[in-house]
Chains A and B, each alone.
Chain A
């Protein structure tokens, strides 16, 4: 069964500190891995997308890593800001067949809720 598991479920850090969020997945066939940020009451917004051959991708203070052998990914946030308070969702894309042809469906983790305190 395709699954994406994230840890921790929630995290509280002080402004200016770094943190790392973890993602383990069992998804086949793997297409790519994405990290999304979801602010309260809003839809998810993409932070990074990594294919099988990429092992790191940065977007400003966000750096995602991927180890395709161990099926693990992490999202590192540097010098956290109050605006980083949100849920961070790990999403793995897997090729699937539908009646309209093949497509890459997204399998979402439950997210890590990050709170950055002043």
Chain B
């Protein structure tokens, strides 16, 4: 079974530029997450989808971040414009079942390491 695929692996941009990340979850997984992990901290949820609907985006800085999950499969996360403090690893994860499932494992992609200079 193929894992969660993310691209690009690395990205360096200047502040105020735009950037987009792509995620292909494990086939058939209903739930997709985007997390931001700053060095030395745990992953912080940005947005969670169940199929193509948003479950939780309460911690997404909506003035600059946006995300979509078209057709309930692939997802993109965009930052426009980027700030220095956006430098982090952006992790995509997926789970087989919907949000009501109790013990559901989240499988992570390798992440995109973003550096904003």
Say whether A associates with B: no
Which B residues form the contact surface with A (CB < 8 A)? none
